[in-house]
Amino acid sequence: MNMVKRIGRILPVALSLAVLVACGDKKTEKPAPVKQPEPVKVEAPAPEEPAPFDFSKISAVKGSSQEFLTENAAVAAFLNDAFAKVEKGQATSIEFPNVSGLFELASAELSSEGRAVIATFGSKLAQTNMDASVLVEGYTCDLGSVAYNDELSQRRAETAKAELSKYIPSSKITAKWYGKRLFKKIKYSTREEHRRVNIRIQ
């Protein structure tokens, strides 16, 4: 009899435990999020630009050229005439003259005339398709030591490169310098003419 009572007391508890074990601690499953389609990127049309000048028609500068220009008006006239001839089919190449930025003795500061020459040159070149690169070369006269003139010609070349970078990307410009090592090897008539930077299209 005691056994029957004991089973009667235990049975409801056992059934409750069985129900809990069967059901477990189930969490409500959330539906998987719906992936939203990415918005379609609409690229704005590129702005129309004037047809670039075809630099493939222009040959490299000849290293033997001794011609140089020091006045803004002379640079403008030369470039306008040279580009016009190629565009009209009257010439297939242009030998660019050296463009001189003028410097005072022991100075790497461009004169106002030198800045104007570079501005004219750079503005004209910026109107092209930029396929060509530019070489900037710094020189000095023979006064002073080799080391001093090397450093001075470097500063002159870098000054001209910085000025030219206002008009065309600096990645298109290479600067080199020679100090006084080429003095008298390049046939300029005066010391003043050796205090220069040559700018060439390559």
Residue 67, pLDDT > 80, answer no
Give mean pLDDT, residues 104-124: 88
**CB of 110 closer than 8 Å to CB of 163:** yes
* Pairwise CA distance, residues 44 & 113, whole Å: 42
Summarised one tens digit per residue, pLDDT across range 68-82 is 788 889 888 988 888
Instruction: Indicate the DSSP class of residue 181.
Output: T
Say which DSSP state 61 is in: P
Which pLDDT band, with edges at 50, 70 and 90, does 58 fall under?
low
| 20 pLDDT tier (thresholds 50, 70, 90) | very low
User: Which range marks the domain in which residue 81 is found?
Assistant: 55-201
Residue 72 lies in a domain: yes
pLDDT at 157: 94
How many CA atoms does the CB half-sphere of 188 hold within 13 Å?
22
Residue 184 belongs to domain with CATH number: 3.30.1330.60
* Under 8 Å between Cβ of 117 and 176: no
pLDDT of residue 69: 84
Model pLDDT for residues 136-187, shown as the tens digit of each residue: 999 999 999 999 999 999 999 999 999 999 999 999 999 999 999 888 887 7
Evaluate whether residue 32 is within a structural domain.
Answer: no
pLDDT for position 187: 73
Average the pLDDT over 18-35 and give the result: 51
Average pLDDT estimate for 98-108:
81
Assess if residue 99 is contained within a domain: yes
The answer to whether 76 touches 120, Cβ cutoff 8 Å, is yes
By CB atoms closer than 10 A (0-12, 13-18, 19+), residue 105 is exposed
How many domains in the chain? 1
At residue 196's C-alpha, the angle toward residues 74 and 199, to 5°, is 60
In the predicted structure, residue 6 carries a pLDDT above the cut 90? no
Strands (E), the chain: 68-69, 98-100, 134-138, 173-177, 197-201
pTM of the model: 0.66
pLDDT at 8 over 50: no
Residue with the bigger pLDDT between 85 and 39: it is 85
In a domain, 129, yes or no: yes
User: Does residue 37 form part of some domain?
Assistant: no
Measuring CA to CA, which residue among 199, 202, 1, 201 is closest to residue 100? 199
Residues 6 or more apart from 17 whose CB is under 8 A from it?
Answer: none
Is 146 part of any domain?
Answer: yes
Residue 7 counted as domain residue = no
- The pLDDT, as a whole number, for residue 17 is 38
| Spatial separation of the C-alpha atoms in residues 165 and 144, rounded to whole Å | 30
Q: Is 174 within a domain?
A: yes
